[in-house]
Structure 1
Amino acid sequence: MDFEAGQRWHYHTREGEEQSTLGILRREVNNGRALLHIRIEGIILPNPRAENGIQTVLGHTPISAEALEKSVTFRAEQAFVPDDFSGYETWREAFIRQEAGVFTISVKEILDVVEQGLAAGLTKPKQDFNPVFLKINKANKELL
């Protein structure tokens, strides 16, 4: 599939999030492999730090092209206008320092992992530790 910035896609969603879509923020190639930066909208993530305790948008998620290809169902007619690249910029800086990675699991699984991390308090800032991204062990999908 040809993924390009500005496209909006439907994907295999979690139960209750059937109207959720994702938008392509950016496409890039790293070490010969395509990776995409996406924004996921219309989700229901319990998050005590979010307004009303529910997070409806995941502003930036780096994902391999292969994982995204397996996740999407069809391209939406409505375009996606990427306007906030702050998540990408933060990720890029961490990636250069080898402190961030790319998801190689489905979008649905990413949301499950993020929800588990939020429930476990794994995204709370700690002294001298800024968990911008949680790395995923592809084999067992556990938080490292």
Structure 2
Amino acid sequence: MSTDDPIPIKYQAGQSWKYLSRVGEEHSRIVILKTETRGSEKIVHITVVGDGIDAPLHMPFSVDAMDKSVTELDETTVSVPEFETGYEIWREEYDKEQAGIYAIPVAEVLNL
């Protein structure tokens, strides 16, 4: 079950957030790609941008994991990179219960 209705959370597509980054990546930012509710899960789809960052273009996180990651809103409207292909692959796997969402902070995921 999916809905594209906005979910009542502080994260919105097109925002840029400062976060608890890894050492040396303090200038990188989280960009919110999309938010959605699937079943009972509120999901924040992100990417991480910045010099030297080699992050996937699409990463799905729980709201709780995002709350543990972000420190402050940096910008309310930034350019959102193309992420639809990665999102569609994830969604198909999620619907088959073969993929999930990250429940740990962003910096920890980047270390995986």
Instruction: Give the TM-score band, short-chain normalised.
Output: 0.7 to 0.9
Counterpart in 2 of 1:61?
59
- Structure 2 CA distance for partners of 1:83 and 1:13, relative to 1, 3 Å: closer
**In 1, distance between residues paired with 2:76 and 2:11?**
15
Q: Which has the larger radius of gyration?
A: 1
| Contact 1:11/1:22 (8 A) holds in 2 | yes
| 1:76 aligned counterpart, secondary structure | strand
List structure 1 segments (4+ residues) > 3 angstroms apart after TM superposition: none
Considering only aligned residues, what root-mean-square deviation do their CA atoms show, in Å? 1.7
Q: Is 1:103 the counterpart of 2:102 in the alignment?
A: yes
Instruction: Give the % identical residues.
Output: 36
The aligned runs of 1:10-49 (5 Å cut-off) are: 10-42=18-50, 44=52
TM-score normalised over the length of structure 2: 0.83
> In the alignment, is the contact (CA less than 8 A) between 2:55 and 2:110 conserved in 1?
no
> For each residue in 1:48-84, what CA deviation from the matched residue of structure 2 results, as whole angstroms up to 9, or x when unmatched?
xxxxxxx634211000011001100011126222241
Once the two structures are superposed, residues 16-35 of structure 1 have per-residue CA deviations (whole angstroms, 9 ceiling, x without a partner) of 10111011111011222311
User: Is 1:7 equivalent to 2:6 in the alignment?
Assistant: no
Structure 2 distance, partners of 1:38, 1:57, is 10
The alignment covers a number of residue pairs equal to 103
Unaligned runs of 5+ in 1: 45-54, 114-144
SS at structure 2 position matched to 1:59: coil
SS at match of 2:12: coil
